[in-house]
């Protein structure tokens, strides 16, 4: 064997070792070694994520605090605009998106979802005292606000197309949409039922739910991981923790704390 051949063989061996390590990469093991889970969420999505006097709180934080304890690491919470979260996850700026993300068939093809953490069925809210709109079909000829880039936007768009003559106005955050609704610049705002229930519960003098509030197919919120083999163990650890918390009553207690009631959630990840 020549010297040049020996060098090539050695380099090939190192490359093979490197590929072997890459193939054996495991996100859960890496997280445990680091002692932390780096998360991303939008802290302007009550009651899931809120900044109250500079302190992060809400359903998401309470749930993920408990999940992190079960895994044995500390959560690192980051306030990231919703539109930057999934792109940031894909380029590995964080380990997981814990903003409540609606499970859809399109997203299931691209990402790994955890078990559902809440109902996400699209619903409508109006200004208290507004008698012109009471049921979902009454938004025909009206202007409805919704957060941009959300599954609720797509569901509202599809529903509006069936009614015809529905003007949809997109917002960066739900808080901006609620402000315009309170100021009379919108006739309604579309969002998930838990978000709107919390809004009306805390501001009944300003807002009221449609009756019925929901329209479209039932949907669920969950957390999102990268769709990679090395994320499988991490997803399983989160799901195992959520099931344990469901069985021992922690999930129910957190729901009741923020929403005043609890709903039973699927014990498997929905396929649509």
What is the arithmetic mean of pLDDT over 207-236? 95
CA atoms of 114 and 77, how far apart (whole Å): 18
Phi and psi for 94 in degrees, rounded to 5? -150, 170
**Residue 19 — very low, low, confident or very high, per pLDDT cuts 50/70/90?**
very low
The single residue listed with the structure tokens 């991303």 is 40
Whether the pLDDT of residue 117 is over 80: the answer is: yes
Specify the CATH class of 25-118+220-259 in words.
alpha beta
Q: What's the confidence (pLDDT) of residue 261? A: 84
Does 10 score more than 80 pLDDT? no
**CA-CA distance, 239 to 222, in Å (whole number)?**
11
Those residues with Cβ within 8 angstroms of residue 61's Cβ, 6 or more apart along the chain or in another chain: 49, 77
pLDDT tens per residue, range 24-48: 579 999 999 999 999 999 999 889 9
Enumerate the CATH 3.40.190.10 domain ranges in the chain, comma separated: 25-118+220-259, 122-214
Band of pLDDT at residue 21, cut at 50, 70 and 90: very low
**Cα dihedral sign for 132, 209, 145, 55?**
positive
Show the DSSP H helices in 133-271 as ranges. 151-163, 174-182, 193-202, 232-247, 250-259
Task: Write out the CATH class of domain 122-214.
Answer: alpha beta
C-alpha–C-alpha distance, residues 242 and 116, integer Å: 9
pLDDT at 24: 54
Q: Measured between alpha carbons, how far is 262 from 250 in angstroms, rounded to an integer?
A: 11
Phi, psi of 49 (to 5 degrees): -140, 120
- Residue 18: the pLDDT is 45
Between 14 and 93, name the one with better pLDDT: 93
The pTM score is 0.77
For the residues 17-25, what does the mean pLDDT come to? 49
Q: What percent of the chain has pLDDT over 70?
A: 91
Q: What is the pLDDT of residue 105?
A: 92
Q: What pLDDT is attached to residue 11?
A: 43
Average pLDDT over residues 185-193: 96
Residue 237 scores a pLDDT above 60: yes
């Amino acid at each position: 064997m020549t010297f040049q051949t020996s060098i090539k063989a050695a380099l090939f061996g190192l490359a093979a070792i490197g590929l072997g390590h890459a193939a054996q990469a495991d996100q859960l093991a890496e997280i445990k070694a680091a002692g932390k889970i780096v998360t991303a969420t939008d802290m302007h999505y009550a009651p899931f994520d809120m900044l109250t006097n500079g302190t992060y709180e809400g359903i998401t934080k309470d749930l993920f605090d408990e999940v992190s304890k079960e895994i044995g690491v500390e959560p690192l919470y980051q306030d990231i605009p919703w539109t930057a979260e999934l792109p940031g996850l894909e380029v590995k700026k964080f380990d997981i998106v814990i903003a409540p993300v609606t499970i859809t068939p399109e997203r299931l093809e691209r990402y790994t979802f955890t078990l559902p953490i809440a109902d996400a069925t699209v619903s409508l809210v109006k200004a208290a005292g507004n008698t012109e709109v009471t049921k979902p079909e009454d938004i025909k000829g009206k202007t409805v606000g919704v957060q941009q880039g959300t599954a609720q936007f797509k569901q509202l768009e599809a529903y509006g197309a069936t009614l015809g003559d529905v003007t949809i106005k997109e917002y960066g955050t739900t808080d901006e949409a609620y402000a315009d609704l309170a100021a009379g610049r919108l006739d309604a705002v579309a969002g998930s039922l838990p978000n709107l229930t919390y809004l009306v519960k805390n501001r009944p003098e300003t807002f009221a739910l449609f009756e019925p509030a929901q329209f479209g197919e039932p949907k669920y919120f969950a957390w999102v991981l990268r769709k990679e083999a090395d994320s499988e163990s991490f997803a399983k650890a989160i799901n195992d923790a959520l099931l344990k918390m469901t069985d021992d009553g922690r999930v129910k207690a957190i729901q009741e704390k923020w929403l005043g009631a609890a709903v039973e959630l699927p014990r498997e990840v929905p396929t649509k």
